[in-house]
Structures are given as C-alpha cells and as structure tokens.
C-alpha cells in the first residue's frame, strides 16, 4: 500500500530542489566565480532588481506582490537604495520602496568587509494586493543579507515575514498567521 505522505514529501523535496537551483542561477547571473571585490567597497546608491521569489505563505499566491511582471522577468525597484561601506556601519536610515511598502527603516550592520546584514522596523498594514485580496493587510518584518561582488555589484537575499492578515473578508483563509517570503536580488551602482 505504501506511505500515504510519500508523494507530499516528494513534491516538497522537488519544490525545494527547484528553489535551490533558481536561487543559485539568480545569484550567479551577471557575475563569474572569478570576480572579486577590486579594492575597498565605497558607499553609493544602487539600483536593485528582484531576480527570484519564494512565497512560503500562499505557495506562489503572493509572487506578483514582489515581482509584478511575473517570476520569469526580473523586477527593477523604482528607487535606488543607499549602501554604505562597512567602516561606516552600523547605520539606521530610511529605504524608499514602491507602494504598498512605502518607506521602511533599515539598520545596516557589517558582517565583514564584503557582507552586511540589514534588519528593518516592522512595516504595519501592508496591502497584500487589492485586486485579489481587497483591503487585506499584513504587518511585515524583514531582514536582508548582502554581499559585495565588485565595487559596482552586490547580491543578496531578503527574508520577509508576513504577520497577522486582517481587514477584509477576502484575506486568504489558508494564509498562516505568520509566514515568510524570500527574495533574491542583485544591485548595480547607480551612475
């Protein structure tokens, strides 16, 4: 008769394996394994692009919130972000994001000369997507890990926690009270 949960575990493993392959491809796009930082990293503005999303809240139902043109097309952020060199950290400052995210307050900490860990203050009342979920909102917490590849190229991953969906009968019934979305991104220095 076999194990009744075997097919569920196999699907979960296949999804994880696909995500690892996608993550590896997204991080490596635009850089080679031989690229290393040329001299010290300098502070500057960077254009960020989301390359992959892993929605663990609604199994892909939130993908368009983070990659509005679909998961096959990288999504450029509309505003550049400031990234400071490690010697200037820790620093706390606002990051301007597109709606519905608005402005978030980030604290950047140096892990070493070529990597940073960012934590963000809770963003209260973020709309999930009005067309699909009406006025349903969540509170969003976030962290990001960023690596310097060259003075002009960064890459990293952000973990976004979605908390307490509320505010509309169209809020997804199958969304947990707390769940995560992972974004893979690259950032290129603005001219």
Is the bond preceding residue 90 a cis peptide, omega within 30 degrees? Answer: yes
Q: Which stretches within 84-186 are classed as H helix? A: 130-133
Closest by CA position to 116, among listed 97, 140, 89? 89
Higher pLDDT, 128 or 109: 109
Q: How many residues does the chain have?
A: 191
The reported pLDDT for the residue numbered 67 is 93
Model confidence at 126: pLDDT above 70: yes
Structure tokens at 143: 């962290």
The pLDDT value given to residue 129: 84
* Burial class (CB within 10 angstroms; exposed 0-12, middle 13-18, buried 19+) of 183: buried
Is residue 35 predicted with pLDDT exceeding 80?
no
pLDDT of residue 64: 87
Residue 100 pLDDT level (bands cut at 50, 70, 90): confident
Residues 6+ apart with CB under 8 A from 110: 86, 87, 89, 90, 116
Instruction: Tell me how far apart the alpha carbons of residues 77 and 3 are, in angstroms, rounded to a whole number.
Output: 45
């Amino acid at each position: 008769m076999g194990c009744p949960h075997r097919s569920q575990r196999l699907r979960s493993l296949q999804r994880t394996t696909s995500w690892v392959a996608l993550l590896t491809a997204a991080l490596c796009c635009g850089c080679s394994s031989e690229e290393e930082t040329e001299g010290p990293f300098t502070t500057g503005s960077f254009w960020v692009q989301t390359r992959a999303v892993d929605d663990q809240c609604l199994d892909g139902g939130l993908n368009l919130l983070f990659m509005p043109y679909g998961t096959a097309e990288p999504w450029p952020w509309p505003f550049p972000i400031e990234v400071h060199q490690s010697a200037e950290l820790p620093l706390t400052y606002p990051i301007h994001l597109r709606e519905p995210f608005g402005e978030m307050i980030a604290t950047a900490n140096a892990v070493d000369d070529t990597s940073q860990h960012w934590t963000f203050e809770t963003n209260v009342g973020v709309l999930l997507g009005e067309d699909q979920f009406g006025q349903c909102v969540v509170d969003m917490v976030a962290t990001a890990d960023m690596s310097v590849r060259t003075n002009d190229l960064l890459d990293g991953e952000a973990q976004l926690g979605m908390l307490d969906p509320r505010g509309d009968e169209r809020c997804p019934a199958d969304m947990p009270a707390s769940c995560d979305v992972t974004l893979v991104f690259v950032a290129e220095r603005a001219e």
